[in-house]
Every structure is written in structure tokens, then in C-alpha cells.
Structure 1
């Protein structure tokens, strides 16, 4: 039986446009478990290689942070990386309006507007990183360098 056809997301199209190799990993989300550690388990990857996408802001300025799913964003370190005095998490109800993505399907690549993006330094030495492909139930696995290039991101110490 043929595998179901995956409709390309903005994130996947961006990677292809830049000729960045990636692998898609799909998972069943019928059980409602879409938090990072559950996703890591479902796709069979170590939690330290699966990164969640968090969006924060300082007034009208948005910032994107990709950190391992088992870690917590340190807002002081994130503000320092972003060159801001203080940042706060974007309210969930604002996520789709700012990014074009929904919770559980927010990718650091292919947002409707580009925001300064930072990847936790722990990802820099990994062989691969998995992030949301822009749709709940779909992850993309790619090199840290590929992720940084596609998201126009830099690496920084971001976690507690």
C-alpha cells in the first residue's frame, strides 16, 4: 500500500527552494498529544534532537526561539540574544495572526512574516534537528546548519 501523500507546507517549500535536504516524519495526533516530548516519542527521536518553536515579543517586535522540547526558554537569555531589555511570550491567541501557524504546528521556517530567529546552542553540534513542518502531525528532520540557513537564525544559549 502506498504511503499517504503529504501536502507540502510553507516550511517544506522554503527548504526545497533553498535546496536544503530534509526528511519528513509524520505522527498520529488523534490522541491530542501534540506536546514536544510526546512528538519526540512518536517519531522515535531523542527529545534533545526535537526542537519546539516559541514566539515571544517586545512590544511590536516578534522573535522566534527554537529549543529542545524538554527544556524551558530562559526569557532573560532570550532577551539578551534578541538585543532587548525584556521580552515576553506571545499570547497563544495571537500565534496564528503573527505567524500563520497554530500551536503544535508552528515551524521556525516559512512564517508569514520573518522574525529574528534563534536556535538553542545545544543544537549546533547535533547531527540533525527535528522541528515542526508547519502542520500538526508533521515534523522535518534536517541539519542544524540547514535549519539556521532556512530560518535565517543564529545559535544562542537560550534555556534554563
Structure 2
């Protein structure tokens, strides 16, 4: 039971767990999850950490899209953001890269979820370890994270 699962359970949020055998040679964890779980890439979401070198933020978006740093900076009221160092992301979240869940992180960070998720009944995010995804309603995810929805995809 990962910290992400514990948080969802304690908040009485309905979710499903989906495990698969992670291939250590795979570098695109999100696409691997979609492929191995037989899911559309539009419903599998990745968790990315960005920073302005003072504060850190989380963006949750479909695995088949690129994050627009400009759009996400606007969402958080920053001039400019860049991707956080993976080692810092691991330290702040308590999770390993490729298994970073937006839920149950060591330090709760301001989070934005891609607006495209609003039209979906269920999305899949990392469950807190490589080879584990959690399926849940995007509104439940936003509620548990106190997150907003916004257009954060690079077109």
C-alpha cells in the first residue's frame, strides 16, 4: 500500500489499482503504462515537477502530450518555470522518477491538472511506484490535491 493509496483510502475516494511488470529499459514510463495496461494514451496521465528555483509545482497531463512551461507558469503566477531536477523531485515527493504520484507526496505542492481530463470519467496516474497506476475520477483527484484544472498542454 503506497502513500498515494493510503491518502485515497483515508479520504474515502473510490479508486482502482492497476499493476504491470515494469521494464527497466523503458524510459517513457507513461507510455509503457498505457501500453501494458491496454489503455488509451488520452486517459493515462504523467506527473511532472516544475520550478522557478524558489518554489516547486506539480503538473498532471496526458502521457502523449508535452507540458507548456509558458502556460503552467501563467497558472502559478510565475514569470518563468523549468523542469525540476529529477533528484530534487524524488526528494520532495518521496517517490522515484517513473513512479511519482501526484497523491501522497512528502511535501504537498501546488498542483494543476490538465483541463482535458474533465471530459473523462476516469484517469490513470502513477500509484507511487513504477508498475502501479491508480484509476480515479479527475474531480476526485482535484479535490484530494486541492488542484485546479487548466490548459497546460503545448499545442
Bigger CA drift: 85-94 or 132-141?
85-94
C-alpha distance in 1, partners of 2:22/2:136?
22
1:9 counterpart = 2:9: no
What is the TM-score when the length of structure 2 is the normalising length? Answer: 0.95
2:92 and 2:25 map into 1 onto residues whose CA distance is: 24
Equivalent residue for 1:108? 102
Gap regions ≥5 residues in structure 2: none
> Which deviations, in whole Å up to 9, do the C-alpha atoms of 1:5-51 show, x marking residues without a partner?
xxx10000000111000000001114532521121011111100000
In structure 2, what is the Cα distance between the partners aligned to 1:106 and 1:117? Answer: 13
Partner of 1:26: 19
Structure 1 residue 153: deviation in Å?
0.9
- CA–CA separation in structure 2 for the residues paired with 1:96 and 1:114: 13
Per-residue CA deviations over 1:78-132 (Å, capped at 9, x if unaligned) read 0001111111110112221111111110000110001100000000110100000
State which of 90, 96, 103 in structure 2 corresponds to 1:96. 90
Helix, strand or coil for the counterpart of 1:47? coil
Deviation at 1:148, TM superposition (A): 0.7
In the alignment, the residues of structure 2 paired with residue 35 and residue 138 of structure 1 have an alpha-carbon distance, to the nearest angstrom, of: 11
How far apart are 1:156 and its partner, in Å?
0.5
Counterpart of 2:122?
128
1:148 matched residue in structure 2: 142
Query: What is the RMSD computed on CA atoms of the aligned residues?
Result: 1.0
Q: Aligned with 1:49: secondary structure?
A: coil
